[in-house]
Amino acid sequence: MTRFHRSKLLVLILMLLPVVQSCAGMKSWISSKTSVRRSDPAKDSSQTSSRKSGQAVNLDKKHSVKTSVPVKVSSRKSIQASTQTANLAKEHMEAGEYQKAIDVYNVEYRKHPHDQALVREYVKSIENIALAADKAFDKEDFASAGRICDFLLKNYAHFKRFEKKLSFNNTHLNEKLSYCKKALFKQGFQEYRKGNLSGSIAIWQGLLEIDPQNTDVKESLKTAKLQQKNLQEKD
């Protein structure tokens, strides 16, 4: 190769060198753009996942709100039932129909054992019955006091579930009932000795209602009735 050709080739190489460098830079720029574009789907996917998660949370909140509504409705129904039960029981209480009042509460309590409003009304009615026994006892109306104590003892199994809320217990009731029985037996003999056979008979009959197995009362009552019959035949 001649010196002229070498010089010409060298000039050509020097001219092409900037072009080659420019192409290399263009390739690098294109490659970086492509990598950025390829990373976008991941970002989009993350955003989409975040939106879906947010929607799921919102749905959960809506669901929790919807499911809480029946609880409120149930609570309102329970309050209404307690009020109706209390009103009906109160009518029986005012009429002296204690057993009917207790039966009303027992039926409703079996349906709603955790209804605290119902339990409060139930306990209040029981305490009012016990108060009636105390008032009769203080007036020495041992027949009425004894009947009420006997009634409470017969129903005491129903009260066991909230016994701690009561101001009395079955021991207290048994003691008071026992006192009433003795007092009635004594009153009957006092009327008998006075010659008031009708009075003694009425007292002993009342005593048998709360002490039906008392043989002494049965014998005394039998004697008083026989004497009353003899007197009526003489007249």
What's the CA gap between 148 and 79, in Å, rounded? 30
Q: What is the DSSP string of 32-99?
A: HHHHHHHHHHHHHHHHHHHHHHHHHHHHHHHHHHHHHHHHHHHHHHHHHHHHHHHHHHHHHHHTT-HH
Please identify, among 168, 197, 215, the residue that sits at the C-terminal boundary of a domain. 168
What's the CA gap between 107 and 217, in Å, rounded? 37
CATH number (domain holding residue 209): 1.25.40.10
Residue 26 confidence class, pLDDT cut points 50, 70, 90: very low
- The answer to whether residue 41 sits within a structural domain is no
Task: Say if residues 82 and 117 touch (Cβ distance below 8 Å).
Answer: yes
Percent of the chain with pLDDT over 90: 59
- 186 and 163 in one domain? no
Q: 29 pLDDT exceeds 90?
A: no
- 89 and 159 in one domain? yes
Q: What is the mean pLDDT of residues 129-156?
A: 97
| Tokens of residue 145, six digits | 């006091």
- The answer to whether residue 162 sits within a structural domain is yes
Q: 113 pLDDT exceeds 50?
A: yes
- 155 and 81 in one domain? yes
- 151 and 106 in one domain? yes
Please identify, among 168, 190, 224, the residue that sits at the C-terminal boundary of a domain. 168
- 161 and 219 in one domain? no
- Tally of structural domains, the chain: 2
- The answer to whether residue 188 sits within a structural domain is yes
- 186 and 157 in one domain? no
The predicted-structure confidence for 169-225, as pLDDT tens digits, reads as follows 999 999 999 999 999 999 999 999 999 999 999 999 999 999 999 999 999 999 999
Q: Please report the pLDDT score of residue 6 as a whole number.
A: 59
The predicted-structure confidence for 67-108, as pLDDT tens digits, reads as follows 444 445 556 666 666 788 889 999 999 999 999 999 999 999
Please identify, among 168, 195, 211, the residue that sits at the C-terminal boundary of a domain. 168
- The answer to whether residue 26 sits within a structural domain is no
Q: Please report the pLDDT score of residue 78 as a whole number.
A: 60
Domain that holds residue 232: 182-235
